[in-house]
Amino acid sequence: MMNRIYQYFCSLAFACVATSASAAMILPANDTIRVVSDVDYPTTKPASEVTPTEGMLHNVDTQVDGWYMKKYMRVDSTLYTNDIPVFPREVYLDRLRRLPNLIEMPYNEVVQDYIDQYTGRLRRSVSFMLGVQNFYVPLFEEALEAEGVPLELKYLPVVESAFDPMATSRVGAAGLWQFMVPTAKHYGLTVNSLLDERRDPIKSSQAAAKYLKDLYKSFGDWTLAIAAYNCGRNNVLKAIKRAGGARDYWAIYPYLPRETRGYVPAFIAANYVMNYYCDHKIPPMKTIAPAETDTVTVSRNLYLAQVAAACNLDVETVQAMNPQYRAGVVSGNSQPCALRLPVQAIDRFLQLGDSIYHVAPAAEVAERREEVEPAELTAQPNNTMTRQSRRQALAEERRERRERRAAAAAERKKRKSKRARAEEPSEVDIRQGDTLSEIARRNNTTVEKLQKINNLDGSAIRAGKKLRVK
């Protein structure tokens, strides 16, 4: 399947004119897409209201320094221009109307602000994504199509990760689709110290398609499903309740978390810019067709450095093709794992067979021991002990244990004796003129207690006698 995907990619010609023209021809101009008017959303709002999502602010330098960029993409600086076109409101509205989308993508000032972000200060990031999308969008479309969900969701990773499989958010979401660990595991992705399938472009796309499908089943509206993908079902349900039960994204907009208020508009803007980038003079970075790849199954732990050495590849290439293996180890001992390699390296891998597991590049593989014997106690420098010295050492160890137990028993006995003495009753002499109340006061007790422990019926006491006080 992946071979077919890459063949498809190799046949793609991402010409600006063709993209813009196709977008214009797919749907006739009509009013099937709802337009959110100024009444639906206020025209006056603070500048801080529109905030780029975390994925939108992904470090472009990190993208440009990535393996795909170095290996298969080229920047043509001559295509860049400082001339940023600005269009009337009606143009944006018409272009959104013409998109062949099932999901509602209305126009309003919030959407416009996010379009301005992508076509303005984020132009370089868009240029990168237009180039790198050739590696990922076919995977997204295949996964979405398999679950029967709208294909325009393929641009959700634009908002989530800027098409970077290694992206990690400040709260720990990871991968192209920015899964949190609990959600990832719920949808069948493995996440542990060695393997993080959130970074696997194929498996994470399949999981994301299933998740989005389930969210749509919960809300019956794609914009609400997209919002819930960002902030969770419960937050959307709370917003619906606060909005009086309205099940419309733009009606519950003010009650959503701040980031989510920008999430759906950013998604609409991403669909816009990925289709109309030419009109905004944003050039895609030039893409060189990558080598075809395929997968092999690994059933034992295998270091990516071993694979690179055995198949005459650089480690960076193997790591870039397998971003899910977070520690550079294919954890085949726990479960069979897929390893992606260039097609020309597959034959070499299969020819080596089990011998590949014994390849150990110097200083690159720290071998993990599967079985180890603990060292024995020794008093000799050469780590050798005679039978007699071993017996003596064991006898000394037993003697020390007996002494520790005896000392502990003595300490327990001492504490018990101290408690017993403290609990013994004490007596005081009754002096001339003493009363029960006076004796009780001096000994921090009560008349009633003195009467009880001394078997007194009244308060009469005699000087010269003794009185129990506890």
* pLDDT, mean of residues 153-180: 92
Is 90 exceeded by the pLDDT of residue 26? no
Stated as kind and residue range, the H or E segment containing 24 is helix 16-26
Which tokens belong to 38?
A: 């100024």
Res 240: pLDDT: 96
- State how far the Cα of 244 lies from the Cα of 51, in Å rounded to an integer: 26
R_g (Cα) of the chain, nearest Å:
37
For residue 14, give both structure tokens: 């991402």
Structure tokens at 210: 């299933």
Handedness of CA 6, 7, 8, 9 (dihedral sign): positive
Mean pLDDT of the chain: 80
Instruction: Kindly report the pTM of this predicted structure.
Output: 0.67
What residues does 73 pair with on adjacent strands? Answer: 287
Note the pLDDT tens digit of each residue in 285-306: 877 656 688 899 998 888 998 9
Highest mean pLDDT among 23-27, 185-189, 304-308, 335-339: 185-189
Q: Concatenated DSSP letters for 391-429?
A: HHHHHHHHHHHHHHHHHHHHHHHHHHHHHHHHHS--EEE
Classify strands 286-287 and 73-74 as parallel, antiparallel or unpaired.
Answer: antiparallel
Contact by Cβ (8 Å): 267, 229: no
* Rounded distance between C-alpha atoms, residue 193 and residue 214, angstroms: 28
Contact 277, 16 (CB under 8 A): yes
- pLDDT confidence of residue 278: 92
Question: Is the Cβ–Cβ distance between 127 and 285 less than 8 Å?
Answer: yes
User: CB-based contacts of 286: which residues, under 8 Å, 6+ apart?
Assistant: 73, 74, 75, 76, 131
Q: Considering only CA atoms, which of 347, 328, 330 is closest in space to residue 338? A: 330
Q: Which domains does the chain have, with CATH numbers?
A: 2-166+246-287 (no CATH), 293-358 (no CATH), 427-468 (3.10.350.10)
Q: How far apart are CA 257 and CA 262, in angstroms?
A: 9
Q: Most confidently modeled of 269-273, 310-314, 353-357? A: 269-273
